[in-house]
């Protein structure tokens, strides 16, 4: 089976064509700067194999429609392509960030579904418009392939009201559905499932804390395989300190800035989402640059690392209290998979709660799941590479096989 997984941002299209059964990836790529004078496309055929062939294009790409057509031309190109015609694609899986309260599982797309995703645009103004554009273009370009949407929010629909309600006037929930939704659900679910496989135990028996640390970051409390709380909220801004996002702040800061600095709502929103987090604290949002700066004696970089890892630790501790008994903590995504210092600092001082890292194991880098806790650690600690594309392709296959 060949599934094309598409993740459309407001000005980008990330794509991968893969077989969910064999896990082999035929092609992966990224279209960026859609709508800007100079668009870019990087296409990798047979990535990670000895046949890998990279094609790059630079040209104006006015909209998602033009971007998708370029992708289809490339993957069906007689010389550089990986399939002979687009009819070979069996299904399309779309990543959608916000599925509101309606979707707790993937769904086969029809007009009603697209309209509902559109109605969630106020909840995810940076993400859902790009998804809608991508779905509409794909429906036109691949009229015979079933289209499935897989939602970042779906895994978290099992969170109970005491964890998803904000203590605001109740009418705001009734009128505008203001509540905690949570994100990165596809990744949290994937690494939880993978860990159960590694331990050879049913996921429905496990209590886990899954820690996804990439450009964006979130931590989820997984009780007997189901999400019961997570750090992100109505939007992906709440919770952890991220690359450019503040995570938790005193909400009164917004009114304070409006009154004392004359900032508009738009300016405050941009500041919290794009100019805060690690970047706000030290001017850098890539953890590799921050480590390099710390090695050169940059104090603000050190503060940024400290603020980020302290917040991680605080939430891991909070979720240990939420779950009561924890079988394992799992780190994943760019920072979680690669950064032993962040992992160590995020778990510092948790020994009396049963968390003991094996320093040697933690220093390892692996492309496969690895256990990094000491043999006598009551709570196991693992690093599990996430694979959201594979998870989306599998979910797409599974719902179509039902
Ligand atoms: P996204 O949220 O965009 O999917 P990723 O999961 O790819 O992000 O994570 C990207 C981040 O991971 C980078 O910004 C960088 O901070 C961090 N990262 C990637 N590789 C390393 C590494 N070797 N060491 C430390 N941090 C890393």
- Domains in the chain: ranges and CATH: 3-151 (3.30.420.40), 201-388 (3.30.420.40)
For strand 328-332 and strand 207-213, is the pairing parallel, antiparallel, or unpaired?
parallel
The answer, yes or no, to whether any atom of ligand 1 lies below 6 A from the CB of 243, is yes
**Residue owning the nearest CA to atom 27 of ligand 1:** 335
Per-residue pLDDT at 125:
82
- Calculate how far, in angstroms, residue 216's C-alpha sits from the geometric centre of ligand 1: 9
Given 65, 112, 152, 269, which residue is catalytic?
152
**CA–CA distance, 394 with 400 (Å, rounded to integer):** 10
Partners of 329 in the beta sheet? 209, 381
152: annotated active-site residue: yes
* Ligand 1 atom with minimal separation from the 290 CA: 16
For residue 128, give the H/E element and its range. Answer: helix 128-141
Residue 74's CB is within 10 A of a number of other CB atoms, namely 18
328/158 Cα distance (integer angstroms): 20
Rounded to whole angstroms, the Cα distance separating 151 from 148 reads: 10
Q: Identify the segments of the chain with pLDDT beneath 50.
A: none
Do the Cβ atoms of 213 and 227 come closer than 8 Å? no
Measured in Å, residue 287 CA sits from the centre of ligand 1 at: 7
C-alpha 333 – ligand 1 centre gap (Å): 7
Q: Is 55 in the pocket of ligand 1 (CB under 6 A)?
A: no
**CA 339 to each of CA 162, 335, 343, 373: distance values in angstroms, whole numbers, following the listed order:** 34, 5, 6, 15
Distance in Å, CA 25 to ligand 1 centroid: 21
> What letter would DSSP give residue 215?
S
DSSP H helices in 78-229: 111-119, 128-141, 161-164, 170-176, 185-199
Query: How distant, in Å, are the alpha carbons of 85, 205, 222, 284 from that of 231?
Result: 43, 23, 12, 23
SS3 219: strand
β-strand pairing of 217-223 with 207-213: antiparallel
Cβ of residue 342 lying under 6 Å from some atom of ligand 1 = no
What separation, in Å, do the N-terminal and C-terminal C-alpha atoms of the chain show? 15
Q: Is 286 in the pocket of ligand 1 (CB under 6 A)?
A: yes
- What is the 243 CA–ligand 1 centroid distance (Å)? 9
Phi, then psi, of 124 in degrees rounded to 5: -145, 70
- Measured from the Cα of 287, ligand 1's closest atom is 16
Q: Is the minimum distance from the CB of 365 to ligand 1 under 6 angstroms? A: no
The pLDDT, as a whole number, for residue 365 is 83
CA of 55 to the centre of ligand 1 (A): 24
* 215 in contact with ligand 1, CB cutoff 6 A: yes
Ligand 1 pocket test target in 28, 232, 245, 287 with most atoms within 8 Å of CB:
287
pTM of the complete model beyond 0.85: yes
Tell how far the Cα of 214 is from the centroid of ligand 1, in angstroms. 5
Q: Is the CB of 216 under 6 A from ligand 1?
A: yes
CA–CA separation, 314 and 326 (whole Å): 16
Give nearest CA residue, ligand 1 atom 7: 334
CA contacts within 13 A on the Cβ side of 44:
15
Residue with CA nearest ligand 1 atom 19: 334
Closest by Cα among 101, 291, 270 to 181: 101
Looking at residue 269, its pLDDT comes to 94
CA atoms within 13 A on the CB side of 119: 12
Tell me whether residue 30 is exposed, middle or buried, using C-beta atoms within 10 angstroms of its C-beta: 0 to 12, 13 to 18, 19 or more: middle
Ligand 1 pocket, 104 CB below 6 A? no
- CB of 27 closer than 8 Å to CB of 75: yes
The token pair at 286 is 């890539």
What are the tens digits of pLDDT across the range 105-155? 999 999 999 999 999 998 888 888 899 999 999 999 999 999 999 999 999
Relative to the CA of 212, which ligand 1 atom is closest?
Answer: 6
Which is the closest atom of ligand 1 to the Cα of 213?
Answer: 6
Residue 215 CA, ligand 1 centroid: distance in Å:
6
Whole-number pLDDT of residue 93: 97
Q: How many whole angstroms from its chain centre is CA 399?
A: 21
Cβ–ligand 1 distance for 327 under 6 Å, the answer no
Question: What local confidence, expressed as pLDDT, does residue 304 receive?
Answer: 98
Beta carbon of 378 within 6 Å of any ligand 1 atom: no
Q: Which helix (H) or strand (E) holds 316?
A: helix 299-323
């Amino acid at each position: 089976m060949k599934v094309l997984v598409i993740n459309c941002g407001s000005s980008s299209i990330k794509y991968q064509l893969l077989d969910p059964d064999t896990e082999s990836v035929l092609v992966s790529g990224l279209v960026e700067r859609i709508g800007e004078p100079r668009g870019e496309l990087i296409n990798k055929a047979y990535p990670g194999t000895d046949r890998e062939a990279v094609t790059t294009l630079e040209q104006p790409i006015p909209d998602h429609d033009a971007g998708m057509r370029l992708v289809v031309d490339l993957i069906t190109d007689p010389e550089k392509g990986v399939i002979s015609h687009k009819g070979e694609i069996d299904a399309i899986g779309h990543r959608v960030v916000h599925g509101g309260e309606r979707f707790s599982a993937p769904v086969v797309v029809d007009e009603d579904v697209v309209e509902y995703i559109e109605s969630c645009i106020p909840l995810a103004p940076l993400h859902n418009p790009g998804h809608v554009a991508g779905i509409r273009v794909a429906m036109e370009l691949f009229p015979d392939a079933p289209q499935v949407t897989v939602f970042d929010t779906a895994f978290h629909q099992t969170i109970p009201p005491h964890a998803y309600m904000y203590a605001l006037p109740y009418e705001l929930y009734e009128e505008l559905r203001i509540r905690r939704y949570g994100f990165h659900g596809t990744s949290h679910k994937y690494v939880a499932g993978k860990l159960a496989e590694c331990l050879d135990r049913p996921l429905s028996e496990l209590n886990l804390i899954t820690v996804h640390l990439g450009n964006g970051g979130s931590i989820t409390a997984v009780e007997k395989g189901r999400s019961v709380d997570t750090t992100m909220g109505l939007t992906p801004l709440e919770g952890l300190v991220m690359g450019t996002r503040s995570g938790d702040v005193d909400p009164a800061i917004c009114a304070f800035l409006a009154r004392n600095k004359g900032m508009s709502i738009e300016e405050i929103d941009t500041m919290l989402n794009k100019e805060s987090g690690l970047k706000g604290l030290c001017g850098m949002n890539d953890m590799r640059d921050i480590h390099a700066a710390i090695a050169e004696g940059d104090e603000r970089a050190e503060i940024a690392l400290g603020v980020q890892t302290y917040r991680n630790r605080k939430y891991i501790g909070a979720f240990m209290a939420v779950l009561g008994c924890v079988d394992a903590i799992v780190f994943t995504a760019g920072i979680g998979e690669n950064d032993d210092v962040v992992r160590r600092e995020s778990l510092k001082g948790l020994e009396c709660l049963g968390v003991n890292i094996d320093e040697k194991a933690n220093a390892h880098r692996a492309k496969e799941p690895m256990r990094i806790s000491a043999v006598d650690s009551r709570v196991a600690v693992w690093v599990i590479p996430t694979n959201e594309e594979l998870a989306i392709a599998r979910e797409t296959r599974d719902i179509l096989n039902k």
